[in-house]
Copies of this chain bind each other. A is one copy, B any other.
Amino acid sequence: MPTLIRVSLLLAAASIAAPALADEGMWTYDNFPAAKMRAKYGWAPDAAWLEHARLGSIRLTLGCSASLVSSDGLVMTNHHCVRECVSELADAQHDYIANGFYAAAGAEEKKCPAMEANQLVKITDVTKQVEAATAGKSDRAFHEAERAAKAQIESACGTAADVRCEVVTLYQGGVYDLYKYKRYQDVRVVFAPEETAAFFGGDPDNFTFPRYDLDAAFVRIYDGGAPLHTDTFLKFAAKGVKQGDIAFTSGNPGSTERDDTLAELIFQRDAAQPFILNLYSELRGVLTEFATKGPEQARTSKTLLFGVENSLKAIKGRQLALVEGPLVADKARAEKEFRRRVAADLKLAKQYGGAWDAVAAAVAHERNIYVRGFLLERVPHRMSDLLGHAVALNRYSAEIGKPDGQRLEEFADANFPALRQEIVSPAPIHGDLEKTVLTWWLTKVREYLGTSDPDVRALLGNNSPEEIADMLVTGTKLADAPLRAKLLEGGANAIKAYHDSLIDFARTLDVPARTVRTDSENHVKAVITKNAALIAKAHFALEGKAAYPDATFTLRLSYGAVAGYEENGRTVKPTTNFAGAYAHATGRDPFKLPDSWVKAQKSVDPSAQLNFVSTNDIIGGNSGSPVIGRDGEAIGLIFDGNIQSLGGDFGYDVSQNRAIAVDVTGIAEALKNIYHADRLVKELTR
């Protein structure tokens, strides 16, 4: 199932951060503000510490972060990051979501069909090379030159199958860095608790604190068929955290828009976010009701529903921050003042003064095409596995013959291995869920674009959404993973020669979907990238480079401390324990602890810490990030932020924003005394 975990990736975004406040910042590993941290905490990490933390950090391609926690390639992440994998491994007889999963022996560890693990090994500045290629270009020409330059650099770097290279656009184009990863595609699940333990409190408690969630899971990286051996990993801390402890998070925040221009914020507030909220609210209703049709429907729809609910809550938080908070007014003031300073300097004014209006014009264009682009280009891939596969196969046949830099991004050499893995994934496809989702999608396409829209006519003809959805699902063999793999192997010609209702529909869809995507890439993203880079440079010129770049789903380090906060006039304490979990349980979903917990209550240390909050600056994509203590050990596992942190896309408030983590000593306690996962306990504590 296409994941929704990186919910924040809604818009390619703009300029450079204002100087970071206390504990604010998602710092790149090559620009960590050690002096700043030392000034506040009296201590800061050295280069060896940073390398240890970087190599101990893992990125999962499905949109999560993780960490190496043993010398045998054991990786810790969130339950909700392996949820999809565990759900796909399940069948009607084995419900690993409900009952959890534990491989008591190595041979029982099961491969996650679509999971890839990346370890960041090197960062190289390639700004000059990219800028040389884009110099003097704009719009489509700029976009193509930038893409081609990036693709060229990436393929020159990624010469082996186990290397992944990405040119990362930082500071909105102020800096281009080449990130080189070690790539692992054999990742096997080792342990996942029951969902009722991982997601205790469910949607009602999501984004709140105090919490009592064991949102933890373990997978293992295999290399050449055997567990990966590594000297660098984050050892589990033996003692629980306490208020004031220094805490780092090392993970991959997906996207922030803290440096968006005013025009972009207003577009998000007035158009993009309200549209998505309505769209996903309806889908949530559809899926909720679908799940009442039977236990099988409940099981098969749960992952998608979870993703939709998580997105909804996150976007609601973002929207609240823009509507109720001071962000828009602050941005308006700061932008006005900064533009005044640029305008006051003749040279800067000439170089950078027009950038804001150019972004605003691109945003005005985006506003006209956004809904069409979202519905035709984004929703199918996110919501329907089946259509996602058909679209990917069809596009593969068209893209693979092109030079690397001219392909759609997901087909570039650097990115395609991950997509290939998704295409050939043997994860089961559930026909009735697919029909339901496709019917909903087509109904929304018709509603928002209009019945007489040529694209809608091309997709629906005289048929109803239900009829088309039914035809697509029953008329295709693409639910069969080996067939998809065979078509991929056969290459462009084999795919082009293949016809069924679904892939033919994907071909029809491809025409308007590409049109709107190209329009957006050339006339929105390229314009914004180019001009946001100019704004970034204006900031460099007037303020130097003391800021961190907006999040890009690449590795960042945040520093802070374990700390409670004030909410509605009361003090929220920074830690919770097992006693609290048992007290919070009502026995009814979503406040029902699993039987294993109920049975084990007497054996569990009630004072063992379960969750804690810290001041770390995180965002979606940080799920699964290790919390690292001063001595380089893993002290926690990020799984959420509090409701106040949801505006973090646009800004950070140290008095209110909190990251929420599982305490590693709580994980060890549960593994030992609830799950009796002795093999794992031994590995983690040796």
A positions within 8 Å CB-CB of B:
201, 203-205, 270-271, 274, 277-279, 281-290, 292-293, 316, 319, 323-324, 436, 440, 443, 446-447, 450-451, 462-464, 467, 586-589, 591
Contacts and interface: CB of A to CB of B under 8 A. Distances in A.
The A interface is mostly helix, strand or loop, or mixed, namely: helix
Nearest to A273: B274
A462 B282 contact: no
A463 B588 CA distance: 6
Nearest to A324: B270
A284 B283 CA distance: 9
Contacts of A287: 285, 289
A288 B444 CA distance: 12
B588 A462 contact: yes
A204 B445 CA distance: 10
Contacts of A288: 282, 285-286, 289, 440, 443
Contact of A204 (B277, B286, B319, B446): B446
A501 B447 CA distance: 41
Q: Which 7 residue pairs spanning A and B have beta carbons closest together?
A: A285-B285, A289-B289, A462-B586, A281-B281, A285-B286, A282-B285, A281-B282
Most B CB atoms within 10 A — which of A274, A443, A450? A274
Contacts of A270: 323-324
A92 to B, nearest CB: 21
A279 to B, nearest CB: 8
Nearest to A292: B436
A637 to B, nearest CB: 24
25 contacts: A203-B447, A204-B446, A204-B447, A270-B323, A274-B277, A274-B323, A277-B277, A277-B278, A278-B316, A279-B281, A281-B281, A281-B282, A281-B285, A282-B284, A282-B285, A282-B288, A283-B285, A284-B285, A286-B286, A286-B288, A288-B289, A289-B290, A462-B586, A464-B588, A467-B588
B587 A462 contact: yes
A394 B270 CA distance: 43
A586 B278 CA distance: 29
Contacts of A447: 203-204
Contacts of A289: 285-290, 436
Given A288-B289, A464-B589, 11 more contacts: A204-B450, A270-B324, A274-B274, A277-B281, A279-B281, A282-B285, A284-B285, A285-B287, A286-B286, A288-B440, A289-B436
Contacts of A589: 464
Nearest to A277: B278
A285 B440 contact: yes
Contacts of A274: 274, 277, 319, 323
A619 B382 CA distance: 39
A600 to B, nearest CB: 21
Most B CB atoms within 10 A — which of A205, A274, A282, A290? A282
A277 to B, nearest CB: 5
A26 B476 CA distance: 56
A273 to B, nearest CB: 9
A436 B293 CA distance: 12
A287 to B, nearest CB: 8
Contacts of A277: 274, 277-278, 281
Contact of A205 (B324, B436, B451): B451
A122 to B, nearest CB: 45
A451 B588 contact: no
A504 B447 CA distance: 42
Contact of A451 (B204, B283, B316, B440): B204
A518 B142 CA distance: 61
Contacts of A451: 201, 204-205, 591
A14 B289 CA distance: 40
A558 B286 CA distance: 41
A435 to B, nearest CB: 9
Nearest to A435: B292
Contacts of A279: 281
Most B CB atoms within 10 A — which of A285, A287, A451, A467? A285
Contacts of A463: 588
Contacts of A278: 277-278, 281, 316
A274 B443 CA distance: 21
A205 to B, nearest CB: 7
A234 B324 CA distance: 52
A588 B287 CA distance: 25
A281 B312 CA distance: 12
Nearest to A280: B281
Nearest to A446: B204
A636 to B, nearest CB: 24
Contacts of A323: 270-271, 274
A205 B463 CA distance: 16
A270 B323 CA distance: 7
Most B CB atoms within 10 A — which of A201, A283, A284, A289? A289
A396 B324 CA distance: 40
A355 to B, nearest CB: 26
A440 B281 CA distance: 12
A291 to B, nearest CB: 9
A230 to B, nearest CB: 42
Nearest to A367: B324
A259 to B, nearest CB: 24
Nearest to A447: B204
A172 B436 CA distance: 47
A286 B291 CA distance: 10
Contacts of A464: 588-589
Nearest to A278: B281
A203 B282 CA distance: 15
Nearest to A285: B285
A204 B602 CA distance: 59
A383 to B, nearest CB: 13
Nearest to A313: B447
Contacts of A283: 285
A282 B284 CA distance: 6
A680 B292 CA distance: 46
